[in-house]
């Protein structure tokens, strides 16, 4: 593994390719730094040494199930091995004790059926084909024998299959520690059934995934001293709030909005809903329906799942009332108050109707709601001053309110699920499964991507410390002749973001306290502070953008923050 290779005439190599990533070939001649390669698809290409990797011409036809057994460990060999296995429906491969799962994009039920679970129970790593069940089994066994808690980290980019993998892990843990003798709904049933509820409110269609989780999730499964599940808790992170008010083709807003618009007729009439196309928060994109998904059925399924996790009929009614209120809130539009560009009023009767509906559903006073949207309340030591907002200010406060209500509804749901499932105060051991957003880089990136990528940098550092640093320290301690693997230490990018004084987040906090602070003034401050930082790039032309050089690539942030100085003290969610 990792033997330094000389590339010479006749060597089998992988050549970097803009379309295929890597293409195989044989070196025909070497002249100085230039290598002439004849590729297997019939081309002759001259490349630099740096664009080549050695290839194992005698690799096994079906690939290897643990990549530490690859003759050459380089990116091309790793990808080739995964692709070879994928072609024979082997979606799982180990790299030491790490499992790599390749998304099959088709149901493979034979991989997860009860007979397979039985086979994997107590099987040692390597005894059975690589599988996500082995990872759960090892974590469970280690917990039982060592009496220590364990965590499983599921990471990957959007659409890679993290949530499906998490569900498979949970099903297997439920199989190992399930308590089928319990009366009523078991804890594991409740945890598994919480998935459709959380997905209805926290998942949405994105360009890459029709059911993308727009939040991070850490599920803690607690066990008693004989290894039976005795409690559980779900912790969520970083719900994507901006999606509530802003979407673009071909995305959708959170599923729950479409589910409610497809609810039985009585509900539609009660909430004065209708075609999703008539709501501003949904009609910014042309995508309303998902192929193969029936929103009407899913509405009923979500209500049933809510029953299972212990959300009462009355609470369900309140939840969907809030969802409907947000749709009506988004349809409130503003115009100038008697030609005064500094203040705003409701635009027309239509907006008045939606304002009244919102107030009715949120059970608050419509006039106070209008006041809260069109005016800013400033509290000074001596007085409360109300200042009119112009149209764009009123829109920001409307959208701010929608985002706040939605994220609080989501947090409330998670709390409710947790109370209903119940934690075991006596439990000493747990297995945590972390399903968190992968690294994100879009055309336009904002504060949310900054937070997500920061989280991934933290996880990457943990991975580095765990896998590389601790392994290498162990080898050094035992005086084993070991060639150090080069890995990029990302402490510098973490410091850039999180340093208590002078890091990006600290400067952002400061900027948010300064009145009249803008994206531009904030960016200028960053340009000044980090002009020599090798992880920070000031773009040549843009005035408010900045680029962070993450371990996984460069990401340009264009909207670092939104100042929300809106007070909604009159509104209380009942
Ligand atoms: N093991 C699997 N078997 C069958 N289909 C799968 C599997 N893993 C993923 N998929 C398919 O891929 C889709 C995307 O997977 P998933 O939602 O788990 O991705 P993700 O990594 O959690 O994405 P995001 O970060 O966007 O939430 C699933 O809806 C499913 O259709």
Query: Per-residue pLDDT tens for 257-302?
Result: 999 999 999 999 999 998 999 999 999 999 999 999 999 999 999 9
Q: Is 19 a catalytic residue?
A: no
The CA 34 to ligand 1 mean position distance, Å, reads 42
Q: Is 147 a catalytic residue?
A: no
Q: Which CATH number fits domain 67-243+422-435: 3.40.50.150, 3.40.710.10, 3.40.190.10, 3.40.850.10?
A: 3.40.850.10
Catalytic residue, from 16, 159, 179, 407: name it. Answer: 159
Predicted local confidence at residue 468, as pLDDT: 75
pLDDT of 186 above 90: no
Tokens of 17: 């390719």
Catalytic residue, from 199, 240, 370, 440: name it. Answer: 440
Q: Rounded distance, CA 572 to CA 212, Å? A: 30
Residue nearest to atom 11 of ligand 1 (CA): 105
pLDDT digits (tens, 9 = 90+) for 141-154: 999 999 999 999 99
Over range 175-192, report the average pLDDT: 76
pLDDT of 181 above 60: no
Q: Rounded distance, CA 26 to CA 11, Å? A: 6
pLDDT of 472 above 90: no
pLDDT of 237 above 90: yes
Q: Quickly list DSSP for 332-376.
A: --EEEETTEEEEEEE-SHHHHHHHHHHHHHHTS-HHHHHHHHHEE
The CA 72 to ligand 1 mean position distance, Å, reads 30
Strands (E), 42-147: 44-48, 52-54, 92-95, 98-101
Q: Rounded distance, CA 200 to CA 126, Å? A: 38
Predicted local confidence at residue 465, as pLDDT: 82
Domain edges within the chain: 12-54, 67-243+422-435, 329-419, 445-559
The CA 132 to ligand 1 mean position distance, Å, reads 14
Catalytic residue, from 209, 336, 529, 547: name it. Answer: 209
> Which ligand 1 atom sits closest to the C-alpha of 167?
18
Predicted local confidence at residue 360, as pLDDT: 97
Q: Is 10 a catalytic residue?
A: no
Probe target for ligand 1 pocket from 102, 211, 237, 434, with the most ligand atoms within 8 Å of CB: 211
Give percent above pLDDT 90 in the chain.
68
Q: Is 440 a catalytic residue?
A: yes
Residue nearest to atom 15 of ligand 1 (CA): 161
Q: Are 327 and 282 contacting, i.e. CB atoms less than 8 angstroms apart?
A: yes
Strands (E), 50-120: 52-54, 92-95, 98-101
Predicted local confidence at residue 4, as pLDDT: 43
For residues 511-531, one letter each, b for 16 or more C-beta atoms within 10 angstroms of the residue's C-beta and e for the rest, the string is beeeeebebeebbebbeeebe
> Which ligand 1 atom sits closest to the C-alpha of 206?
26
Residue nearest to atom 8 of ligand 1 (CA): 161
Q: Residues at the annotated binding site?
A: 156-163
Q: Residues at the annotated binding site for ATP?
A: 156-163
Tokens of 231: 């409690």
The CA 90 to ligand 1 mean position distance, Å, reads 16
Q: Are 431 and 221 contacting, i.e. CB atoms less than 8 angstroms apart?
A: yes
pLDDT digits (tens, 9 = 90+) for 493-543: 999 999 999 999 999 989 888 877 888 899 999 999 999 999 999 988 878
pLDDT digits (tens, 9 = 90+) for 402-449: 999 999 999 999 999 999 889 898 888 999 999 988 888 888 888 889
Q: Rounded distance, CA 303 to CA 196, Å? A: 10
Q: Which residue has the tokens 């319990």?
A: 182
CATH number of 12-54: 2.30.30.360
Q: Do domains 12-54 and 445-559 have the same CATH topology?
A: no
The CA-based dihedral angle spanning residues 462, 468, 471, 473, taken in that order and rounded to the nearest 10 degrees: -90
Predicted local confidence at residue 193, as pLDDT: 86
Residue nearest to atom 23 of ligand 1 (CA): 159
pLDDT of 391 above 90: yes
Q: Considering the chain, what is the average pLDDT of its residues?
A: 89
pLDDT of 200 above 60: yes
**How far lies 275's CA from each of 262, 284, 327, in Å?**
8, 14, 11
Q: Is 163 a catalytic residue?
A: yes
The CA 462 to ligand 1 mean position distance, Å, reads 24
Predicted local confidence at residue 574, as pLDDT: 27
Q: Which CATH number fits domain 445-559: 3.20.20.70, 1.20.58.530, 1.20.1080.10, 1.20.1560.10?
A: 1.20.58.530
Q: Is 209 a catalytic residue?
A: yes
Ligand 1: residues within 6 Å at CB?
103-105, 107-108, 156, 158-164, 209, 211-213, 437-438
Domain spanning 329-419: which CATH class is it, in words?
A: mainly alpha
pLDDT digits (tens, 9 = 90+) for 295-319: 999 999 999 999 988 899 999 999 9
Give percent above pLDDT 70 in the chain.
94
pLDDT digits (tens, 9 = 90+) for 28-63: 999 988 999 999 999 999 999 888 999 999 888 899
Q: Rounded distance, CA 117 to CA 132, Å? A: 10
541 contact partners, CB below 8 Å, separation of at least 6: none
């Amino acid at each position: 593994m990792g033997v330094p290779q000389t590339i010479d005439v006749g060597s089998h190599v992988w050549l970097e390719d803009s379309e295929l990533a890597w293409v195989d070939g044989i070196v025909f001649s070497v002249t100085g730094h230039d290598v002439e390669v004849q590729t297997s698809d019939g081309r002759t290409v001259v490349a630099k040494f740096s664009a080549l990797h050695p290839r194992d011409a005698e690799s096994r036809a079906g690939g290897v199930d643990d990549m530490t057994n690859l003759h050459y460990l380089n990116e091309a060999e790793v990808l080739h091995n995964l692709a070879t296995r994928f072609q024979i429906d082997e979606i799982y491969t180990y790299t030491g004790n790490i499992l790599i799962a390749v998304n099959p994009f088709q149901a493979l039920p034979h991989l997860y059926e009860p007979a397979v679970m039985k086979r994997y129970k107590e099987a040692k790593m390597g005894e059975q084909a690589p599988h996500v069940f082995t990872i759960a089994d090892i974590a469970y066994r280690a917990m039982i024998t060592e009496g220590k808690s364990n965590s499983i980290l599921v990471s990957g980019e959007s659409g890679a299959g993290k949530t499906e993998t998490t569900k498979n892990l949970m099903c297997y843990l439920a199989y190992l520690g399930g308590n089928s003798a319990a009366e009523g709904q078991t804890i594991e049933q409740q945890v598994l059934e919480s998935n459709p509820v959380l997905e209805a409110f926290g998942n949405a269609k994105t360009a890459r995934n029709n059911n993308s989780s727009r939040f991070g999730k850490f599920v803690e499964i607690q066990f008693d001293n004989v290894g039976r599940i005795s409690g559980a808790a779900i912790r969520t992170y970083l719900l994507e709030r901006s999606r509530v008010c802003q979407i673009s083709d071909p995305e959708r807003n959170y599923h729950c909005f479409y589910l409610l618009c497809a609810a039985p007729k009585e509900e539609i009439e009660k909430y004065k809903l209708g075609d999703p196309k008539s709501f501003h928060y949904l009609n910014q994109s042309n995508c309303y329906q998902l192929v193969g998904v029936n929103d009407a059925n899913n509405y009923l399924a979500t209500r049933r799942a809510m029953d299972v996790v212990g959300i009462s009929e009355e609470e369900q009614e309140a939840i969907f009332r809030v969802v409907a209120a947000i749709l009506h809130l988004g349809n409130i539009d503003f115009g100038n108050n008697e030609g005064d560009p500094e203040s705003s009023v409701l635009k027309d009767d239509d907006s008045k109707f939606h304002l009244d509906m919102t107030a009715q559903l949120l059970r608050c006073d419509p006039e106070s709601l209008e006041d809260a949207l069109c005016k800013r309340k400033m509290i000074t030591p001596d007085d409360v001053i109300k200042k009119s907002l112009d149209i764009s200010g009123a829109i920001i406060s409307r959208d701010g309110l929608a985002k706040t209500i939605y994220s609080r509804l989501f947090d409330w749901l998670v709390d409710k699920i947790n109370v209903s499932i119940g934690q075991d105060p006596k439990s000493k051991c747990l297995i945590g499964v972390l399903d968190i957003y992968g690294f994100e880089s879009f055309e336009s990136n904002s504060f949310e991507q900054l937070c997500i990528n920061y989280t991934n940098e933290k996880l990457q550092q943990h991975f580095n410390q765990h896998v590389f640093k601790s392994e290498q320290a162990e080898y050094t301690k035992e005086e084993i002749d070991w060639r150090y693997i080069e890995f990029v230490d990302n402490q510098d990018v973490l410091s850039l973001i999180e340093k208590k004084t002078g890091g990006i987040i600290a400067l952002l906090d400061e900027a948010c306290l300064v009145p009249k602070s803008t994206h531009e003034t904030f960016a200028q401050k960053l340009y000044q502070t980090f002009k020599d930082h090798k992880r920070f790039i000031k773009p040549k032309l843009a005035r408010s953008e900045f680029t962070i050089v993450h371990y996984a690539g460069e990401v340009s942030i264009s909207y670092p923050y939104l100042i929300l100085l809106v007070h909604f003290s009159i509104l209380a969610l009942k």
